[in-house]
Amino acid sequence: MLNSNIMNKVYMYVDADSCPVKEEIIRLCQKYKVEMIFVSSYAHKMTLPSSVKQVSVDTDKEAVDLYILNHIQHNDICVTQDHALASLLLPKGAEILSPRGKEYKEENIQQMLDMRYLSQKQRRMGERTKGPKAFTNEDRQQFSMQLEKILAKKEGI
């Protein structure tokens, strides 16, 4: 019989290429003793503490996404800005959080994907679309609060 601690182990996967909240993730995961896996392409060099597992993948457009998709398990957590990746991870039972602290859920993912599709369609037709608004300290604080809430819940607090 497996040890229940092994069965309940939670991993944090980070789509790390352009993640602006790496320090917050590291701080909170160390506090809650959650193992972190930062996945990035070879083109993005990061200096991270030795407690963080770093996985470097090919520079192909979807290589980071495929690594995370193939390794994440039920109850794990992922931080990503990628709506498409989030939509693939939700059926696996993972919890997905954006760097701005927005939780991706089954109830909101379709609307996010639709908006993304419409923006891409407009750009292909030559129209200009708004990019994401600038990342703020409020976004950083919102992310930290949401991640801490998720980690505390998983720890049973």
Domain CATH for 78:
3.40.50
Domain assignment present for 115? yes
Domain assignment present for 128? yes
What is the pLDDT, as a whole number, of residue 63? 94
Mean pLDDT by 10 residues, the chain (157 residues): 54 94 97 96 88 93 94 96 90 95 82 62 68 87 97 86
Domain assignment present for 93? yes
Domain assignment present for 41? yes
Domain assignment present for 81? yes
Domain assignment present for 1? no
What is the pLDDT, as a whole number, of residue 10? 93
Domain assignment present for 125? yes
Full-model pTM: 0.83
Query: Pairing relation of β-strands 77-79 and 52-57?
Result: unpaired
What is the pLDDT, as a whole number, of residue 120? 65
| Domain carrying residue 23 | 10-155
Overall domain count for the chain:
1
What is the pLDDT, as a whole number, of residue 2? 38
